[in-house]
Amino acid sequence: MSKNQVPVLVLIAAFTLLIFPCAFSQKKLTTIIVDAGHGGTRDPGATGQYEGSLRSREKDITLAISMKLVAELKKQLPDVKTIPTRTTDIYQHPTEKARIANENGGQLFLCIHADSGPLKQGKRQIGTREETRYKISYKKVKKKKVKVSTPYTVTVPVYEYFKIPLTRSGTSVWIFAPHKTSDKLKTIMDNADDFEIETDNADSAYSKFDFRTPEGKALADIYQKRFQERSDKLATLVNDEVDKTGRHALGVNQRQVGIWVLQATNMPAILVETGFINNPEDERYLNSEKGQQELAEAITAAVIRYKKQVEGISKANPQNADVKSADEKHEPLKSDSRTTKEQKVLQVKSNKLRIEIFDDGEIDNDIVSVYFNKKAVVENKSLTVNGYVFNLDLIEGKTNELVLYADNLGTIPPNTALMIITDGVNRYELRLAADLKTNAAVRFEITKPPKPKP
Ligand SMILES: [Zn+2]
């Protein structure tokens, strides 16, 4: 995209995120949006290309599965409004899909797609044909060299070329987040050097939106804080339900680029790559009534489990919540019901500490808050490889306790933080792990050199 397009896109996305702040604060899940990916002649999505393919088009498969999913959700959740973005073969720009979702007050956005992947070309011999070639020789005619061509016939093979079907198959679930890929998907990607993940190629300007720019990062942060944990939760449930059907479940994956519509919707959102359209088994499954219905039922089962978990937390017993939404501002630590399981003691040489906090291990979008003597010193901070620095003044006579509070679990629980603590003399490394039920804590003790005897 050209540089001057960026601010416009940022404005549209920021507008969508900020103008509908209330959609998600409702406790009951009442509105679900189902989006059949692609559509119309302008954006057919992937097509069956391999030899012997059904030549199916992704836009038709996504529509068929989406219609079954809408019907199944309506049947099993009659009190919930389920709204499809499209019910016919029409083209919709990603912003249009996002607008429908946001204006209808959607609280969940389910995007249905099918994967493709580039195909290798094969060739095979289908026969032979006769070909005339010429043997060149020279002879002397009246002391001059003369070229002579003698024709002869050879039999040469005739080939035909065809596209080799993909061997990979299965269903993967995507959420919008900084790029991360599940181990299962990594495995199949490692086995194929030409692996490509689908992007929203309907409009390259949107698929090339760069979330590493400061504007993009700000938007990503807003979305992540509000919806990432719930998106991740639903995605995990969908993967689990797909696994139960016996299909190859490829896990939950995160990415930033190419899933524009996911972060432009002001609600938790997932994208299901239902199967590989260029894998013969998957293509037939995706085109079959049985396959479409099975996927619709698996996704519905996951939504029902998600709904129970989310609603169970917000009404009856918040103390027993196994999920804490990052968009709900948590109470001050002292009134929180979590227990502090692990308390480390660190002896330091000074009452002035500099602390740098990182995500420990693989970067998986851990969001934490840090409390010092029961006051927040870090709030809703997304941990990265780049450290976040803060300073502490230890007070003599106080407990001087630092508590790590997990605002989410990241994608690889628990929520782990590496702290580099310097007291002006020494440097300490401390690893803390917290989850949604337990905090981690460290208590500082100031050890001063013994006073000289009088
Ligand atoms: Zn697609």
* pLDDT single digits (tens) 243-302: 999 999 998 887 765 567 777 788 899 999 999 999 999 999 999 999 999 999 999 999
82 CA distance to ligand 1 middle (Å): 21
What's the pLDDT at 37? 93
| pLDDT over threshold 70, residue 15 | no
What is the pairing mode between strands 171-176 and 249-255?
parallel
Distance 172 CA to ligand 1 centre (A): 12
- CA of 286 from ligand 1 middle (Å) equals 13
Q: What is the mean pLDDT of residues 49-54?
A: 92
Q: 271 C-alpha to center of ligand 1: Å?
A: 9
Position 122 confidence tier, pLDDT thresholds 50, 70, 90: very high
Which of 11-20, 124-133, 380-389 has the largest mean confidence?
Answer: 124-133
Give residue 6 CA to ligand 1 midpoint distance, Å: 24
Q: How many angstroms does the Cα of residue 192 sit away from the middle of ligand 1?
A: 20
| C-alpha 396 – ligand 1 centre gap (Å) | 60
Per-range mean pLDDT, top range of 133-147, 290-304, 342-356, 362-376: 290-304
Q: Torsion over CA of 446, 448, 450 and 451, rounded to 10 degrees?
A: -120
pLDDT of 397 above 90 = no
Cα 112 to ligand 1 centroid, rounded to whole Å: 8
Q: Edge-to-edge strand order for the sheet containing 171-176?
A: 81-84, 31-36, 108-115, 269-276, 171-176, 249-255
- Average pLDDT of span 438-452: 77
Q: Stretch 434-453: mean pLDDT, rounded?
A: 76
Q: What is the pLDDT at residue 23?
A: 41
Per-residue tokens: 221: 């942060």
**CA–CA distance from 97 to each of 2, 142, 168, 269, 299 (Å)?**
23, 85, 30, 12, 20
Distance in Å, CA 174 to ligand 1 centroid: 12
pLDDT band, residue 192 (cuts 50/70/90): very low
Q: Report the chain's terminal Cα–Cα distance, integer Å.
A: 75
Q: Please tell me the distance between residue 333's alpha carbon and the centre of ligand 1 in angstroms.
A: 44
Choose between 140 and 171: higher pLDDT. Answer: 171
C-alpha of residue 307 to centroid of ligand 1, in Å: 26
Gap from CA of 162 to ligand 1 centroid (Å): 24
* 265-276: burial string, b at 16+ Cβ within 10 Å, e else: bbbbbbbbbbbb
More confident residue, 157 or 411: 157
CA distance 400 to 445: 8
% of the chain residues with pLDDT over 90: 39
Residue 223 contacts residue 263 (beta carbons within 8 Å): yes
> What is the Å distance from ligand 1's center to 84 Cα?
16
Q: State how far the Cα of 376 lies from the Cα of 385, in Å rounded to an integer.
A: 22
CA separation for the pair 199, 207 (Å, rounded): 6
3-class secondary-structure state, position 67: helix
pLDDT of residue 45: 92
Q: What is the side-by-side order of every strand in the sheet holding 427-434?
A: 388-393, 352-359, 415-422, 427-434
373 or 274: whose pLDDT is higher?
Answer: 274
Quick: pLDDT tens for 95-112: 889 889 989 999 999 999
pLDDT for position 178: 54
Model-level pTM greater than 0.75?
no
CA neighbor of 391 nearest in space, from 431, 433, 350 = 350
CA of 309 to the centre of ligand 1 (A): 29
User: How high is the pLDDT of residue 318?
Assistant: 41
Please, what is the average pLDDT of the chain? 80
Q: What is the pLDDT of residue 347?
A: 86
- The distance of Cα 431 from the centroid of its chain, to the nearest Å, equals 27
Cα torsion angle, 119, 59, 14, 255, sign: negative
On the question of pLDDT at 194 being above 70, the answer is: no
**Rounded distance, CA 69 to CA 376, Å?**
44
Residue 350: what pLDDT? 87
The CA 57 to ligand 1 mean position distance, Å, reads 10
Expressed in angstroms and rounded, the spacing between residue 320 Cα and the centre of ligand 1 is 39
Q: What is the mean pLDDT of residues 303-308?
A: 95
CA atoms within 13 A on the CB side of 423: 17
pLDDT (mean) for 157-181: 84
How many whole angstroms from 17 Cα to the centroid of ligand 1? 23
Separation of CA 252 and ligand 1 centre (Å): 17
Distance (Å) from CA 274 to ligand 1 centroid: 10
CA 61 / ligand 1 centre spacing (Å): 10
Supply 111's token pair. Answer: 């995007």
Distance 36 CA to ligand 1 centre (A): 9
Mean pLDDT lowest among 121-130, 323-332, 364-373: 323-332
Beta bridge partners, 174, equal: 253, 271
User: What angle separates helix 214-223 from helix 6-19, to the nearest 10 degrees?
Assistant: 20
Distance 90 CA to ligand 1 centre (A): 14
State mean pLDDT over 37-53. 93
Please list the residue range(s) of the chain that carry CATH number 3.40.630.40.
3-118+167-314
CA of 446 to the centre of ligand 1 (A): 58
Most confident of 61-75, 102-116, 379-393: 61-75
CATH pick for 3-118+167-314 out of 3.90.1150.10, 3.40.630.40, 3.20.20.70, 1.20.1250.20? 3.40.630.40
Domain with CATH 2.60.40 in the chain: 333-446
Residue 200 CA to ligand 1 center (angstroms) comes to 7
For residues 33-61, average pLDDT: 94
What pLDDT does residue 2 have? 36
Distance 291 CA to ligand 1 centre (A): 18
- Whether domain 333-446 has CATH 2.60.40: yes
pLDDT score recorded for residue 193 = 43
pLDDT at 450: 57
* Predicted confidence (pLDDT) at residue 7 exceeds the cutoff of 50: no
Token readout for 333 is 């630590």
Asked if the model's pLDDT at residue 212 lies above 70, the reply is no
Does 132 score more than 70 pLDDT? yes
* Whether 361 contacts 412, CB under 8 Å: yes
Give residue 115 CA to ligand 1 midpoint distance, Å.
Answer: 6
